[in-house]
Structure 1
Amino acid sequence: MNLQMFAGERTEPATPKKRQDVRKKGQVFQSREITSAMIIVIGFLMIYFTTSNIMGEFINLFKYLFYNYGGASDDVFTVNGISKLFMIIFPIFLRLILPIILVVFLISLISTYAQVGFLFTLEPLNLKLERLNPIEGFKRMFSRRGIVELTKAILKIGVLGYVMYSFLIWQYKGIPQLLDMSVQDLIKYGLNIFSGILLRISIVLIALGIIDYVFQWKDYESNIKMSKDDIKEEFKETEGNPQIKSEIKKKQRQISMRRMMQDVKKADVVITNPTHIAIALMYDNEINDAPIVVAKGLDYIAEKIKEEAKKYSIAIVENRPLAHSLYKTTEVGDSIPPDLYKAVAEVLAYVYSLKEE
């Protein structure tokens, strides 16, 4: 089986960078059903707990209207009368409706923020020519997502219609009793029916919202999945091409090698083992408290160090134990460890005696 045929399939979860990129484009998942359910539930609770206040305001309004506009000589049907009536009714309307509107607006913002977080982008407003293409529009209408949204809408209407119908049928038995009720009792009865309908609708919408939230999340995760090739390309963009990084490291090693070889001429002695290891030491008692390693290497590099040492007439001393110890315990630019002071001092003393001779 040719495994390359699966390389382009989007089977891998989205990386953090991919999630950040699609979020910048405004592609986020959220359930509008959850928001709608919360708005209706909170609105219902606001109306339920302020029912007595609403009824009191309406009763006071009706009393005022009956007492002040009950005569035939009233100018209620003139422009001045209508204007005066509007100035009476409008403040009452604001006192009753404005708090509910503000609370519903805040709940909408909170619900959206809880699902999406703070996001400001103009990317969705950009003009895209494919949006003007009627063929693409039909494809979106009859796509899997379009069919699912249509099914959800039909299901929601059907469930809500059934809930309202079953509740009203249950309340139908009490309709004959309305003939013996006062106006105030009729209002209470109507509000009870309204509250019962809203309560059942709220429960249904919350259940549908939870289902829709799970669906939207799975659909979003499926849409932003990546193929193995996508992940490789992203890695190249973020971490750099491995071949380029390898070349950079190679160049860095070459530069470091060239600089180290240039420092060999500063050395006082090169200690070897004698074939595989070479350590170049420099000591200036006015600058350093201890000898400094200016170059070190194995095999090929060790040979190059010895060649440079011969070029500048630097002493090469064979001392296998000292060469091994220095190679294991020091790096280029380090001072030698104190436990090797004596051994290195003997070597330097030998080198200085040779120079004097």
Structure 2
Amino acid sequence: MKLSLDLQYFAQEKTEKATPKKRQDTRKKGQVPKSTDVNTALILLGVFLFMFLYAGVLGDFIVNMMQHVFLEYIHWEVSEQTIPSLFNEIAAESAIVILPIMLITLVVGVSASLIQVGFMFTPEAIAFKLEKINPLKGIKRIFSIRALVELLKSLLKIILVGVLVFSIIWFSLDSLVFLSQRPVAAGFGELARLTGIIGASVAFLLLLLAVPDYMYQRFDHEKQIRMSKQDVKDEHKKMEGDPLIKSKRRKKQMDMAMQRMMQEVPEADVVITNPTHFAIALKYDEDTMAAPKVTAKGADYVALRIKSLAQKHEIVMVENKPLARSLYAQTEIGDEVPENLFKAVAEVLAYVYRLTNE
């Protein structure tokens, strides 16, 4: 009894790698190894690298916009007509600044996801399920090992990012202290430069941290989709099909093959019989065939059907027990007559041709 329970336990233990079908099924459900840290790091890196290139244009545009506000809009009369116009112009000018950054964010975010998981459309993953709002499962996820790992990762990132930002600010403290004594444009440029350095440095740091996180996500995903030996057997059995269905399919295939074979009997030149146990139909066309071919063969009941069709369509039947047994054993349907049986078959065909020409 104990041995049986142990075997059952080992059969259910998740020790096997996921099969291709299991991987495909989990992918359809949206379960793929993906690190959000990779997306975050690449988006930050892409945005701040773009900002380094776009900073001059952005700075000039903002300065011109502020000059326009303080030189033009300040003289406008505040009324129901001027306020909507004011906000529309400011919104349009702000969009010119923000839209390129949002576009870069979108492109980099989509590209990061494609790099990790490829193109994937999973309507099943976004379908509404009551179990998704089950508070018990929510609590279980909060206090799971996975949640603890995510908490430790977040704390580590906060500490490292904090140390990095503090270090950059500390080494730039001299320029920040005298920032109030510099012109507005120069001060703005210094702050923009420092912000860009901090952003790019944090992005590189998060990208470095994302590499082990992605490896962990792959490891955890492989662990989650592992299968037991019984699962593999069940899947294989399901893919192979039910034995009853397989037998019915095989029977149908045999019936179709039998039907095709019987359609060839009326075209045969001769049927060689045992006379009761075997029947082999032969056809020969000297213009298209190098040797006579077996178009149908059978034993017992099938042989009886072949002989019945041959008699119905007035096909010559020749009784030759040794030749019938040899042809049945050495050939398959569609095969040419073996070389060692050429002479015997030629004699039979010669007899048939003499008989039909009389």
TM-score (norm 2): 0.75
Which of 33, 37, 43 aligns to 2:37? It is 33
Alpha-carbon distance in 2 for matches of 1:55, 1:171: 21
In 2, are the aligned partners of 1:293 and 1:331 still within 8 Å (CA)? yes
The letter of the residue matching 2:329 is: Y
List runs of 5+ in structure 2 lacking aligned partners. Answer: 312-316
List runs of 5+ in structure 1 lacking aligned partners. Answer: none
Which of 62, 69, 90 aligns to 2:66? It is 62
- Relative to structure 1, the CA distance from residue 184 to residue 239 in structure 2 (aligned partners, 3 Å threshold; closer, same or farther) is same
In 2, are the aligned partners of 1:11 and 1:225 still within 8 Å (CA)? yes
- Relative to structure 1, the CA distance from residue 54 to residue 257 in structure 2 (aligned partners, 3 Å threshold; closer, same or farther) is closer
How many equivalent pairs are there? 341
- Relative to structure 1, the CA distance from residue 157 to residue 77 in structure 2 (aligned partners, 3 Å threshold; closer, same or farther) is farther
Alignment of 1:218-233 (within 5 A): 218-233=219-234
Secondary structure (helix, strand or coil) at the match of 1:7 reads helix
- Relative to structure 1, the CA distance from residue 176 to residue 270 in structure 2 (aligned partners, 3 Å threshold; closer, same or farther) is closer
Alignment of 1:1-357 (within 5 A): 2-68=6-72, 74-75=75-76, 78-241=79-242, 245=246, 249=250, 269-270=272-273, 280=280, 293=294, 317=320, 319=322, 324=326, 327-328=329-330, 330-332=331-333, 334=335, 336-337=337-338, 340-346=341-347
Secondary structure (helix, strand or coil) at the match of 1:212 reads helix
The superposition leaves residues 204-227 of structure 1 with CA deviations (integer Å, 9 ceiling, x where unpaired) of 111122222212222112211222
TM-score (norm 1): 0.75
In 2, are the aligned partners of 1:284 and 1:291 still within 8 Å (CA)? yes
Alpha-carbon distance in 2 for matches of 1:270, 1:282: 11
Alpha-carbon distance in 1 for matches of 2:106, 2:141: 31
In 2, are the aligned partners of 1:14 and 1:225 still within 8 Å (CA)? yes
Larger radius of gyration: 1
The superposition leaves residues 113-149 of structure 1 with CA deviations (integer Å, 9 ceiling, x where unpaired) of 3323333333233333333332222111111222222
In 2, are the aligned partners of 1:26 and 1:121 still within 8 Å (CA)? yes
In 2, are the aligned partners of 1:11 and 1:227 still within 8 Å (CA)? yes
In 2, are the aligned partners of 1:37 and 1:202 still within 8 Å (CA)? yes
Larger deviation, residues 33-42 vs 169-178:
169-178
Alpha-carbon distance in 2 for matches of 1:351, 1:271: 17
In 1, are the aligned partners of 2:327 and 2:337 still within 8 Å (CA)? no
In 2, are the aligned partners of 1:269 and 1:348 still within 8 Å (CA)? no
Secondary structure (helix, strand or coil) at the match of 1:35 reads helix
Give how far 1:228 is off.
1.7
- Relative to structure 1, the CA distance from residue 198 to residue 352 in structure 2 (aligned partners, 3 Å threshold; closer, same or farther) is closer
- Relative to structure 1, the CA distance from residue 268 to residue 108 in structure 2 (aligned partners, 3 Å threshold; closer, same or farther) is closer
The superposition leaves residues 39-94 of structure 1 with CA deviations (integer Å, 9 ceiling, x where unpaired) of 11111112211211122122223333443466xxx346555554454344333212
Give the RMSD, CA atoms, in angstroms: 4.4
Larger deviation, residues 242-251 vs 204-213:
242-251
Alpha-carbon distance in 2 for matches of 1:68, 1:349: 114
What is the percentage of aligned positions where both structures have the same residue? 36
In 2, are the aligned partners of 1:295 and 1:305 still within 8 Å (CA)? no
